[in-house]
Structure 1
Amino acid sequence: MQNPNINILKTEVLSDNWYTLNKVTFTVRKKDGTIETQSREAYDRGNGAVILLYNLSSGNVILTRQFRLPTYINGNTTGMMIEACAGLLDNDQPEECIKRETEEETGYKISRVEKILEAYMSPGSVTEILHFFIAEYSDDMKITDGGGLEEEGENIEVLELPFEKALQMIDSGEIRDAKTIMLLQHLRIKHIL
């Protein structure tokens, strides 16, 4: 059901190079009943999925490290980010997407995942909904070295870390990616590891 207090008047494409940046002009009925016209930019990159792999017997988790230009521009001196495995849906269902991304990025072939939540990660400017998953892994599920797809320009390092070390890396600032922090905290709150 659409919000009766919002009326979209016009959508202009500002950029359609990597993903789509739109300028949306709309009216909004405020609490006092007045109607105001506003314009906002919204970046549409599609929806995505993210997963945290964990191993109950070893107490380890699988994370990735890769270069992220926006963080480099905003003061991350190396541009490298430690993150949970993630990717865009690309017209797949979230579960299918995250299984594919897990194999491409980490080298682990998983069959069972548990969806824990959906969240908007930057609702003031990005349309993306992110589907969050967790899954147990074991050494026998490793079928390749991972690292991502060369044709997509991916150069991903796979990290296997003790869960407690990963939590310490949040405190030290080594892990600053929101989706990864949320997944690690989920494992902690649910006492999974």
Structure 2
Amino acid sequence: MTAGIDTPDRRGRTGLDRHGRDLTGNPRVVIRDVEVLSCDWYVLRRTTFDYRHGDGHWSREQRETYDRGDGATILLYDTDRGTVLLTRQFRLPAYVNGHPDGMLVETAAGLLDGDTPEEAIRREAAEETGYAVSAAEHVLTAYMSPGSVTERLHFFAAPYRDANPTATAKGIAAEGEDITVLELSFHEALAMIHTGEIADAKTIMLLQWAALNGPFGPGRPRPPRSHRRQ
């Protein structure tokens, strides 16, 4: 008996090896087997499939996929003062792969955990920054690492106003979160992409969207160039 397959794992899940077996949307792909390699918290699977190439021949392939569920992220902005609200927290994967201290500057984000993207991002914004979001604009949805990670990330943006964050800021201590809230001028945040101080993909995407098509795009009032608060 295997946890996550025949018996519940520590999150109460069974049948994790059946995910993806019944896919029929692509006639060039035939799923042959799905194995669960790990389900300690998220799920690592190895899928064996037959693939028909462009020249017509078939090959037997294997890929590992990491399933952590879908997520959402949000850029909070104040066009009157020309600021954005970001977070800083420790990210072990970045630390072990060349980031000097693993402390990444990011937009607020989190997994859906059964909620709709809109519900999830309002929850995460409150938990990570302390600001309540009443209405959020959906910007785009994207696969962030489609070669190995199944996650789709839903991108949002919403205005905030200069006010003291609620007591729920800085994340949830019980989940090991230790989050610093940063208020930066929009121009400073953009410059931090070029210096490498912002190296998180979702944050870069939202900042560039804001500069091209969003609240700080062409034709919008030019925000102040210096503002930092944490």
TM-score, length of structure 2 as denominator length = 0.82
**2:222 corresponds to 1:192:** no
Which residue number corresponds to residue 133 of structure 2? Answer: 110
Aligned to 2:66: 43
Q: 2:177 aligns with which of 154, 168, 175?
A: 154
Equivalent in the alignment of 1:19 = 42
Q: How does 1:52-91 map to 2 (within 5 A)?
A: 52-91=75-114
Equivalent pair of 1:108/1:144 in contact (CA under 8 Å): no
Instruction: Please report how far the alpha carbon of residue 113 of structure 1 lies from its aligned counterpart in structure 2 after TM superposition.
Output: 0.3
- Out of 154, 179, 200, the residue aligned to residue 131 of structure 1 is 154
Equivalent pairs: percent with the same residue? Answer: 55
Matches within 5 A, 1:143-182: 143-144=166-167, 146-182=169-205
Cα offset, 1:77, TM superposition: 2.0
Deviation at 1:32, TM superposition (A): 1.2
Structure 2 residue 33 is the aligned partner of structure 1 residue 10 = yes
The answer for unaligned runs of 5 or more in structure 1 is: none
RMSD over equivalenced CA pairs, Å: 1.2
Which structure has the greater CA radius of gyration? 2
- Gaps (5+ residues) in structure 2? 1-23, 217-230
Determine helix, strand or coil for the equivalent of 1:139: coil
Amino acid at match of 1:183: L
Q: How much has 1:15 moved relative to structure 2?
A: 1.0
- Does the alignment pair 1:92 with 2:115? yes
How far residue 17 of structure 1 moved from its aligned partner, in angstroms, is 1.5
Deviations along 1:17-70, whole A, 9 cap, x unmatched?
231110010011111111111001000000000000000111000000000000
Aligned length: 193
Distance 2:175 2:157 in 1: 24
**Mapped contact 2:137–2:157 kept (Cα < 8 A):** yes
